[in-house]
A = this chain, B = another copy of it.
Amino acid sequence: MSRETLLPLMAAHVLEHGLGGASLRPLAKAAGTSDRMLVYHFGNKKTLIVELLDHIAGIYSAALDMALGDTRPSSRRECFDRVMEQAADPAMRPFMVLWWEIVAGAARDLPGYEVAAQEMIARQLDWLIRQMPADDPDPEGGARLLLTLMEGSLMLGTVGHAKTARDGLLASDLSPS
């Protein structure tokens, strides 16, 4: 059992139970090993978490690649609505919950958190650019705008202000300027 075998199992555990309370022994049990072996393979907990975050960022990228739509939207607003609908999928909820924990860790400068978050956002932006309307005059700028709106809306959603974000969006013009 090597690092590569253990990481996906631990990632699954973290997706379900969170990063904050992730201690060696539960992590080990989820991976079918002992805390002793986790330290043996990764040296210490800090570097384990760093590698785990990197691995999770990889999982997220792969999940995005799987979710490429086959038809392109005809407007930025339709694109936004589609992506938001997909983010609301219950299957995405563990990712969502973990995501805010990663953001919090990045804000507090915990090692590995910011790089992982940065990677995940970069992937999401790439993905979004490919999802933009085919005739959009500025797909990069549009994707960046939609990403900002999306993340703001998702955050407001998780703290019980989904309606606030929705109403704000209704009063806005997403079309290219």
- Interface residue ranges, A against B (CB under 8 Å): 18, 20, 96-97, 99-104, 106-108, 114, 117-118, 121-122, 125, 138, 140-153, 155-156, 158-161, 164-165, 167-177
Contact = CB atoms under 8 A, between A and B. Distances in A.
Instruction: Determine the main DSSP class of A at the interface with B.
Output: helix
Given A150-B152, A155-B155, A145 B169 contact: yes
Contact of A20 (B20, B140, B146): B20
Contacts of A168: 141-148
Contacts of A107: 96-97, 99-101, 158
Q: For the complex formed by this chain, how many copies does it contain in all? A: 2
A167 B144 CA distance: 7
Nearest to A173: B177
Contacts of A20: 20, 104
B106 A104 contact: no
Given A152-B147, A152-B149, A142 B171 contact: yes
7 nearest CB pairs, A to B? A141-B171, A144-B168, A152-B152, A117-B159, A148-B152, A145-B168, A100-B104
